[in-house]
A and B are shown apart, each in its own frame.
Chain A
Amino acid sequence: MTEKSTIDLDSYIHRLETSLIGRNNGEKVYKLIEERQGKFEILETNYREIEIVIPKKIITINYSFFSGLFETIVKRLGDKGFREKYHFETTEHNLAKVDDHIQKILSASTPEEILNA
């Protein structure tokens, strides 16, 4: 197993983008990464660690974008598994956002549960 694979989001997003917004954009980046670097499942088995580099120009990463890109992976690996495998290289603010979003994905309720809360 090789040590580390790096996914630099800078090469997958538009150069004018200053915040990562939108589920569709997140899903698009997911597909592009799989096309260029291979399926996430394969990357996970081939590498001990996957480093996600979010460029410093990105002010914030919103929940929709994050879940468009990582929702399936977070749900598949769970909190601990995801944090062990994926490491984020970004600003402190974005790191805190990533933590929040992981929690949100894992604790999301169904519409029925929400409306009957």
Chain B
Amino acid sequence: MTLQKKAWRRIRSRRKRKLLHGGSMTQEQHKKYHLKSASYYIQRRSRANPAQLEKHTIIVPQSFSFIDNANETTQFLRKLKKLLCKNVPKNLSIDHSGVKKIDLAASFHFDKLITDYCHKWRLRGIHVQTNGRLPQNKEINNFLLSFGLLEKLHIKNDFPSQIADQSCLDMFVIFKENGSRLEEFKKSQATSGLVDFFNKSFNENNLQLTEDGASKLLETFGEIVDNAEAHCGPFNQNGKWHCLGCYSKNTRECSFAIINEGCTIYENLQASDNDSREAIRKIFKTISSKRDLFNLSICQFSEEPIFNIMALQQGISSRRTNQGNRRSTCGYGMMTVLDFINSVRSEKKEALVSVVSGKSQIYVDYRYPIVKKRAKRGNSEITLLYFNKKNELDEPPDSDCAILLDGKYPGLAFSGRFTIDESYLRRRLQGD
């Protein structure tokens, strides 16, 4: 071995040692001494001592909800995803202390990002450490321990009673199911599970879904889960859909979410050769011509929120095509679910449904009634929901009902919550 080569090797091993002890050097030196990338040495160091890893501090928004604060929530999740996909392991410090509101869809997405991140590094032999601060609200702590991140991270409930209830697991009725196109039967199981969850929630209030009611729910949630599966992205990507349900026995609040990542409603309506697109475009033109020039909201300029509002209406779907007789009847799920919530919601407490897809959120707070009409042809009954005082589909929607988001949510999150009021429902049942 030449002297020159010996010297090169000696310098290389010195450089290697430096990197393993946390030093850094230029890319040219990495190349010159045939050294692996900087992230490789960081990972090696982390394997030996995870506590030495740098720390990501994640501050969860005050209102972490796809229903109440979709814009900030989707932005936060997008930034977090970007942060966690970097190829350098870091310990996580999660600050929930400011959280005052949290919902199923937001919690689910957050938990998934965190657990996937930990799992990714565990596969490479690095145990990323997680710690953080709990919310001040006891009800939210109970939720995190029974459904949210703390449950996902298998954190035991050893907290004092002023922070979380010892029996918090018994305080919720919980349902979680997921599936993909590769498991066709899962749709049927998830739908049955979701209806069972609603029934259990009603049972907690000494009420029971009738056989006919349960079957109707099974049918309509089946439509939504089927839709979620169909729009999970290309078949080869095996996109997943998720059905979630959570009922709090304390607050009597029943929440649900059906989530799929993949294509947005707008993308589906634009891409496929469906016959809904042209009909919606005509409506959009009419709405645009009626814009209130003194009170312009951003959504009035954009097609997407209008497309999403129209896609909610019964019988409007991206899967309705003009090819012969096939696929000409679709789009019966969401409006029937909205109708169901309308029929069971408490009159005193709010019931909210949110449809977040792409760059838009449709916010349903039942300020306007759900209307059943007869179509001019065919004599079929159509259920419609208007979003303006005039109760017209071709009038601009209220700006707080059709919201244009700053960033894109890649998929569809259909989520909602309502409070079960036993005495009100009994009064209604007797009246009926």
User: Which residues of A does B touch, CB under 8 Å?
Assistant: 14-25, 28, 59-60, 62-65, 67, 71-72, 75-76, 93, 97, 104-117
Q: B314: which A residues are within 8 A, CB to CB? A: 114
- The residue that B375 contacts in the complex, of A23, A64, A76, A109, with Cβ under 8 A, is A109
The complex places the Cα of A11 from the Cα of B282 at a distance, in Å, of: 46
Closest residue of chain A to B333, judged by CB?
A64
Asked whether A59 lies within 8 Å of B192 as measured between CB atoms, the reply is yes
The complex places the Cα of A88 from the Cα of B226 at a distance, in Å, of: 24
Asked whether A114 lies within 8 Å of B226 as measured between CB atoms, the reply is no
Q: A117: which B residues are within 8 A, CB to CB? A: 373-376, 382, 384
- Among listed B9-17, B27-35, B150-158, B323-331, interface-contacting one: B323-331
B20 beta carbon closer than 8 Å to chain A: no
B310 beta carbon closer than 8 Å to chain A: yes
Asked whether B375 lies within 8 Å of A24 as measured between CB atoms, the reply is no
Pairs A–B under 8 Å by Cβ, sample size 15: A14-B184, A16-B188, A18-B192, A19-B218, A21-B191, A22-B187, A22-B222, A23-B330, A72-B325, A110-B279, A111-B316, A112-B278, A113-B378, A114-B279, A115-B282
Asked whether A62 lies within 8 Å of B222 as measured between CB atoms, the reply is yes
Closest residue of chain A to B320, judged by CB?
A111
Asked whether B376 lies within 8 Å of A115 as measured between CB atoms, the reply is no
B208 beta carbon closer than 8 Å to chain A: no
Q: A19: which B residues are within 8 A, CB to CB? A: 188, 191-192, 218-219, 222
User: Which residues of B does A touch, CB under 8 Å?
Assistant: 184-185, 187-189, 191-192, 211, 215, 218-219, 222-223, 225-226, 229-230, 275-276, 278-280, 282-283, 310, 313-316, 319-320, 324-330, 332, 373-380, 382, 384, 393-394
Asked whether A113 lies within 8 Å of B329 as measured between CB atoms, the reply is no
Question: Nearest-CB distance from B134 to chain A (Å)?
Answer: 40
A115-B329 contact in complex given A62-B222, A63-B219, C-beta closer than 8 Å? no
A109-B279 contact in complex given A21-B187, A62-B219, A115-B313, C-beta closer than 8 Å? no
Of all A-B residue pairs in the complex, the 6 with the closest CB atoms, nearest first, are A21-B222, A107-B380, A109-B375, A14-B185, A22-B226, A111-B279
Asked whether A22 lies within 8 Å of B229 as measured between CB atoms, the reply is yes
The complex places the Cα of A20 from the Cα of B226 at a distance, in Å, of: 11
- The residue that A115 contacts in the complex, of B283, B324, B327, with Cβ under 8 A, is B283
The complex places the Cα of A108 from the Cα of B188 at a distance, in Å, of: 25
- Which among B215, B219, B223 has the highest number of chain A CB atoms within 10 Å? B219
